Structure 1
Amino acid sequence: MISATIAANAYDRARPAVAPAEGLPQGASRAAADFARIMDQVDISATGAMRGTTDTHQLVQSIAQAEVALETAVAMRDKVVEAYQEILRMPV
């Protein structure tokens, strides 16, 4: 049977697999680092909640910040894809 502690420990071990890539442009690198920092905060809060060491208010607050960060990242991705598609439509 999987307990909350086992799940939290497995989650902590898997987190490095989704670290931001190296070699991004300055602005994108800073945005990726900020996004990763916010996601790390929500991960810490979620892990603490699973272990019973984090306040519920802190967890909810960090989830709200993560939601805003994710919406921002998705909007940026959509703009990049839109610009790429516009470049593909240009005659050469």
Structure 2
Amino acid sequence: MSTVSFNAYTALNTTRPADGAQSAGKADAAKNPVAEGISDFRTAMQQAEQSTMQTAVAGADPHAMVAALANAELMLDAAVTIRDKVVEAYQELLRMPV
């Protein structure tokens, strides 16, 4: 079996603001519900991944893994639903006569 060095969170972490603008960006992110939602989504996915790895490698509590995976699944379903609604709204705008 080959080892794949792909990290699903790389795309979320690639663009970072400069150090000077980072503190101002964090203050804006605290007020922005979209940024909070993305942060919560990323945290849920990372917790599910860590819990799964700990259960597979160290034999950690499987109940914690199931709970983390269920939370990640709910977050993913919500993200997909929101994406679908945004795409649907965009398509409706394109269909409007000018």
Instruction: Indicate whether the TM-score tops 0.5.
Output: yes
Give the aligned partner of residue 36 of structure 1.
Answer: 42
Where 2:7 maps in the other structure, the secondary structure is: helix
Superposition CA RMSD, Å: 2.7
Q: Which runs of 5+ in 1 are unaligned?
A: none
TM-aligned CA deviation for residue 90 of structure 1: 1.1
Give the aligned partner of residue 76 of structure 1.
Answer: 82
Q: Which runs of 5+ in 2 are unaligned?
A: 16-24
- When the two structures are superposed, what TM-score results if normalisation uses the length of structure 1? 0.74
Change (3 A) 1:66 1:83: same
Residue by residue, what CA displacement relative to the aligned partner does 1:16-52 show, whole Å, maximum 9, x if unpaired? 414267699x222111111001001101101101212
- When the two structures are superposed, what TM-score results if normalisation uses the length of structure 2? 0.70
TM-aligned CA deviation for residue 15 of structure 1: 4.5
Distance 2:67 2:33 in 1: 26
Give the aligned partner of residue 70 of structure 2.
Answer: 64
Aligned length: 84
- The share of aligned pairs that are identical, in percent, is 37
> Does 2:53 correspond to 1:47?
yes
Give the aligned partner of residue 19 of structure 1.
Answer: 12
Change (3 A) 1:78 1:15: closer
Distance 1:21 1:40 in 2: 16
